[in-house]
Structure 1
Amino acid sequence: MKDFLKDHILKLTAFRIGILFTIISLIFSVIKPGFLERLEWDYYDLRMRARKPVKPLDKVVLVSIDEKSLDEIGRWPWPRTQIAKLIDLLTEYGAKVIGFDIVFPEPDENSILKEVKLLKKKISELDVKDSKLYSYLKQLEKEADTDGTLAKAIKKSGRVILGYFFHTDWYAVRHIPKKKQEEDFNNIISSAYAVKFTSQAATKVKFKEAYAAEANLKIFCDAAKGSGYFNVFPDEDGVVRWVPLITSCKNEFFPPLSLRMLYLYFDEEPVLTIEETGVKGIWIGGVEIPTDETGRMLINYRGKKKTFPHFSFTDVVHRRIDPEVFREKIVIVGGTAIGLFDLRATPYENVFPGPEIHANIIDNILQKDFLQRPNWFKVFEYLIILILGTLFSLVLPRVRAIYGLLGALVFIMAYVFLDRFFFQTLRIWLNIVHPVLTIIFVYIGITLYRYITEEREKAKIKGAFSVYVTPAVVEEMLRNPEKLRLGGEKKELTVLFSDIRGFTTISEKLPPDELVRFLNDYLTAMTDIVFKYEGTLDKYMGDAIMAIFGAPIDQEDHYIRSCNTALDMMEELKRLHKRWEQEGAPKIDIGIG
């Protein structure tokens, strides 16, 4: 049983080495070690940058809180009358949707309002009876209430979507009072998804969980048409490639800012359907948005920053921009100045304005131009790895290493072109690292195995034949080991026999040491002739020589070689006679057959 296991089950072969590396590659593809994931992300980014920029629709513009605005208006945060003024102007200009990639979670710090309230309190304490004074203070308080002014502008516009963000780290919310957390949650609950569950089991599915929201003041939320979170979650290398279209908080599901803006644009609520395996689909405006099972959407970036029109906040509020650029547009207001910390890394650039990420998402949906990585595609990629690994495991042991290398390079290039077709034409992200590494691993594994085993086989051949054939024949056997059959075979060949006639009489006349020198001299000369014609020395039998022609390497003219060997032996014997005569050695005759 042990011998059977050793010789059949556990015996290493080139094919089994290839399958072993295929399985290892498949395991890596499933567990996704970080260094391989980073390779895939880097290649994804390279593909993104290598293609031509995609022209966005003329539907989205950005109003930037940039360095110019900070220089003219002052440091952030500004009085909320400035935000109200912007909303009034954009509404006047005919903007269809106004979205804010900023949040107003605290009351505006207004020194005038504080002074007016303090004055009212003092007058009340002094029991001053002056209706005109009270009326004036009330009017002054109203004018100084910048939060009220902003809420009024939001309400009057009827097209404002506010942004907020979720706390996804438990430690970040420990300091926030429970009452504040409840208030913020109540301020966003009206913007939650209308969810359809396909079954009772679907209600148990878990998604990315947020612990609390940092929402806008209630006065703003009540005035706005809705709210959406502007969180983005980069991959481990810090690059934003995906956007979560669903975040769970307190058993409710919420959409991002981009979808809430599109809700207003289409005048249609986004619909979320959840099944047992996760998100089945998200629909808005008749468009189904492709996501993975967790609700993440791949962002099909249109290009570098400022692919979408940017207008400085200060230029807009000072009426320096043509109003027509905002008519019927989706306007995103957000920070692009370096000091505002709303800059992200994307496949195109390490410094990319956060508001423009939302613009890309919106344009993807409006154009129905998505990059996808379908859930079933993982199985497809696993099959590719198995097929490529098995194919190369079968073929590589049967071809020379150089041809195997060329074949591997051809397959890798073909796969790169296939990947390019999937990415640019079908808009599908095909994993390239694991299949290519499968080809590389299998090739290296089999080539190393063959090198080790072939070197061992070469040593075996050299040890077995170097005494019997010429170095040239040994090299031929090493170059073409398939010509050698150590187990024996039936074939036609020529055998040459040669011996010294009357050798017994000669051996009786010579002392032992002279006899040995004499035989060495004779046998060496005759053996060299055998090797000259690439014959194989089979054995010495005392004074006799047995040589073979036509084995172990095939020789079509083996009979001619043997005849030439016999003739040369006779000529060589004549030369030996002349030398031996001078040395006093005996003269001999040989027989050849």
Structure 2
Amino acid sequence: GKASLFNELDLKLYDWVFQMRGERSVEGKTEIAIVAIDQHTSDELPFPFDRRYYAEVVRELNGLGARIIAFDIDFSSASDPRSDSVFHAAIGESGNVVLSGKIENVYRRGFRNRIAEPKPPVRQVSPEGTPWGLVNEMNDADNVTRRYPLFLQVGSTVYLSLGVKIYSVLRGFEGETPVFESRGEFVLGDLRVPRFEKQTCLINYYGPAGTFPTYSFIDVISGKYDFDDYLAGTTEEERELLAASGMADIFSESPFKDKIVLIGASDEYLQDNKFTPFFSDSDPRKTPGVEVHANALQMFFDASYIRTVGFNWIVAGVILLSAIIFTIVRRKRQWLAFIGAVALLGLIASVGIWLFVSKGLWLQQVQLMMAVMIGYPVNLVYRFIETQREKAMIRGMFSQYVQKKVTDALIANPDLVKLGGERRRMSVLFTDVAGFTTISEKLQPEELIALLNEYLTEMSQVISDNDGIIDKYEGDLIMAEFGAPIWYEDHAACCCRAALQMQAKLAEMRQRWRSEGRIELYSRVGINTGEMITGNLGSKQLFDYTVMGDAVNISSRLEGANKTYNSTIMIGHETWKDVNRQFITRPLDYLLVKGKSEPVEVFELLAEKSDGVSPVMYRVLELFNQGLEHYRRREFNEALQLFRQSLRVCPEDGPTQVYVKRCELYISQPPSDDWNGVWTLTEK
């Protein structure tokens, strides 16, 4: 994945410290040799070549005294049967070969996600019992190989990496199971490796590409290092001369005697060369993957690991440095503060390099440096804040008269300060607590205020989260508008979403109140959309940002109309037109509210379509809508049957209960011939 800026800087600094430390020579002390499939080999034997050559290199290396022969080459699929058979026989005869495999994430029928699957060497190549290790790589986000996987686990089976497998074969604890100790160390026999992330460790590279002694694959199989073959082409007199001069001993000393020989690709064409911390503009050589394993294995032999400073120490350092730099920049002159900040940065870099070179301890310096680099401008910010204090005080005084949302809008658009307003299509929401008068009579004033404040706080937060603004509070009532003071197109959807989230939040609060033995609150919501006048209303000294108009009044009436239909959220026709593709609603009635001459079609808001409703409610809606169609055609008997069916599905459905009673009324007392299905609301 992509590295964060912090992480990317930390990785680059890590590489730079490696390059500052420089190469650590392994000449004369390493037991590792590399046989590389290099460009010279590729020129002679185009890759992939016949596996009989691998058999040949195994026999040749054993003849030259190799202790272990390990392949960093994929043999997870079969090739020519005769070639595989020859290679299989060579491995079986030698008894000192370690092969490699991988864990791959593959798709399998019946599984939704990819699953991890081991890819060991095929049996056509690998005799039973031949050890093998993983060559999976774990690169960082910048594609640099800094970490080495110690093992991977699939199910309950643990698969060791190639380097760990070679080490375990050499030390004789191949069958043991690795563990992680509480200190975060990977333990396998006498091998104790400090863990970096998950099942990986940091590779303490000894140098760039070519640090370990490397020999060409083609040279090995062509007998270049086989002294017996060389002597076969000489006369007896020449052999006596070589022996007398001491040169025979020099020539007969095999470079692979008692060595751990790693075989892998180094030809760039084979794409197994890696970026490591030693890769730079001055030395742009990538390290062969086989040499990465050599570095890890040598690190295991030397127990020369890179450890990291713990997270708690980094946090403590950040806090301490932040305090120091804050003190410096607050109490000293600016030029002294700058020198102090630079000095701290230099100190952090110096300490980091010293810890890495001498102690093998990686100090994640970027976080510490950022504490200084952020801390320094704090003084400038603080001084700026002081100069703005008077303006902030004036703004604070002004905010005492109007809400913060209005203040912010007025600052962004000073023209809004003028008295007056504009006509705008918006959405408005009214909500109050059902039965609040009865509730208030049961509580002490202090309990009532505490309960009401808790309710108003949570509901207001939901409104704010959905880009609404609180117009006013009147006791338990909240009036809010959406699409002001800054207009946005989906104001109706935001308003409806807020209403649904308010009911969901209130349901959560009721559960808590119930567990505490307190009174539970229920609320009703009315929503309407339409043209309304918005702006500042009041005197020149004190005014309030509000809305007014018929659309606002209708919204207030709809909130109260919920009582008639035992519904929770009622929306007007204009709102429904804006949101019906996003929300689940059901038609309730053609309603004539008090003080109006034209009926309004109203709907109950149930849920967002992305959330859906329960199967029970889905069936209720289906029956209810069918019943309503019959009802509006004056087919009251048919409507009653459907509404009663709906009640059998959900007996507590409020609107259905209302229509059962209406149908029963109209069956016994049929309406007049000019009945148009409009219900007149007599209450506000």
TM-score by length of 2: 0.49
1:320-346 deviation digits (Å, cap 9, x = unpaired): 136610011110011111221111111
Alignment partner, residue 433 of structure 1: 366
1:488-543 deviation digits (Å, cap 9, x = unpaired): xxxxxxxxxxxxxxxxxxxxxxxxxxxxxxxxxxxxxxxxxxxxxxxxxxxxxxxx
Shift of 1:414: 1.2
Q: Distance in 1 between matches of 2:370 and 2:54?
A: 54
The partner residue of 2:357 within 420, 424, 431 is 424
Shift of 1:314: 0.6
1:272-329 deviation digits (Å, cap 9, x = unpaired): 1136x79543234x23111136121100111110101111111000111366100111
Shift of 1:264: 2.0
Shift of 1:83: 0.6
State the SS of the aligned residue for 2:263: strand
Shift of 1:427: 0.4
User: 1:281–1:104: structure 2 CA closer, same or farther, 3 Å change rule?
Assistant: closer
Shift of 1:367: 1.2
Kept in 2: contact 1:163–1:257 (CA 8 A): yes
Alignment partner, residue 274 of structure 1: 180
Shift of 1:371: 1.1
1:300-449 equivalent positions in 2, closer than 5 A: 300-321=204-225, 324-349=254-279, 351-373=286-308, 377-449=310-382
Residue identity matched to 1:65: I
User: 1:211–1:33: structure 2 CA closer, same or farther, 3 Å change rule?
Assistant: closer
User: Is residue 32 of structure 2 the alignment partner of residue 97 of structure 1?
Assistant: no
Q: Distance in 2 between matches of 1:224 and 1:84?
A: 18
1:250-291 deviation digits (Å, cap 9, x = unpaired): 22111100111112222233651136x79543234x231111
Residue identity matched to 2:56: K
Superposition RMSD on alpha carbons, in Å? Answer: 2.5
User: 1:430–1:335: structure 2 CA closer, same or farther, 3 Å change rule?
Assistant: same
Alignment partner, residue 87 of structure 2: 150
Q: Distance in 2 between matches of 1:385 and 1:422?
A: 18
User: Is residue 193 of structure 2 the alignment partner of residue 289 of structure 1?
Assistant: yes
* Higher relative helix content: 1
The partner residue of 1:58 within 27, 30, 33 is 30
Kept in 2: contact 1:279–1:291 (CA 8 A): yes
Alignment partner, residue 462 of structure 1: none
The partner residue of 2:163 within 258, 274, 280 is 258
5+ long unaligned stretches in structure 2:
227-252, 391-684
State the SS of the aligned residue for 2:204: coil
State the SS of the aligned residue for 1:53: coil
Q: Distance in 2 between matches of 1:293 and 1:263?
A: 22
Residue identity matched to 2:327: L
User: 1:58–1:39: structure 2 CA closer, same or farther, 3 Å change rule?
Assistant: same
1:92-171 equivalent positions in 2, closer than 5 A: 92-109=63-80, 145-167=82-104, 169=105
Residue identity matched to 1:247: L
Q: Distance in 1 between matches of 2:267 and 2:115?
A: 28
Kept in 1: contact 2:107–2:115 (CA 8 A): no
Kept in 1: contact 2:51–2:84 (CA 8 A): yes
Q: Distance in 2 between matches of 1:389 and 1:359?
A: 42
Q: Which has the larger radius of gyration?
A: 1
Kept in 1: contact 2:185–2:194 (CA 8 A): no
5+ long unaligned stretches in structure 1:
1-31, 111-144, 179-208, 458-593
Residue identity matched to 1:42: K
Residue identity matched to 2:33: V
Q: Distance in 1 between matches of 2:347 and 2:33?
A: 41
Q: Distance in 1 between matches of 2:121 and 2:336?
A: 66
Residue identity matched to 1:378: F
Q: Distance in 2 between matches of 1:358 and 1:38?
A: 25
State the SS of the aligned residue for 1:307: coil
User: 1:233–1:41: structure 2 CA closer, same or farther, 3 Å change rule?
Assistant: same
Residue identity matched to 1:146: S
Q: Distance in 1 between matches of 2:371 and 2:161?
A: 39
Shift of 1:223: 4.4
Alignment partner, residue 216 of structure 1: 121
Alignment partner, residue 35 of structure 1: 5
Kept in 2: contact 1:279–1:295 (CA 8 A): no
Q: Distance in 2 between matches of 1:308 and 1:260?
A: 20
State the SS of the aligned residue for 1:324: coil
Residue identity matched to 1:299: I
Shift of 1:157: 0.6
* Higher relative strand content: 2
Shift of 1:455: 9.3
Shift of 1:451: 5.2
The partner residue of 2:15 within 30, 38, 45 is 45
Residue identity matched to 2:312: V
User: Is residue 4 of structure 2 the alignment partner of residue 67 of structure 1?
Assistant: no
Q: Distance in 1 between matches of 2:372 and 2:31?
A: 46
Alignment partner, residue 86 of structure 1: 57
Alignment partner, residue 503 of structure 2: none
Residue identity matched to 1:354: G
TM-score by length of 1: 0.56
1:104-156 deviation digits (Å, cap 9, x = unpaired): 1222236xxxxxxxxxxxxxxxxxxxxxxxxxxxxxxxxxx221211111011
User: Is residue 383 of structure 2 the alignment partner of residue 450 of structure 1?
Assistant: yes
Shift of 1:249: 1.0
How many equivalent pairs are there? 353
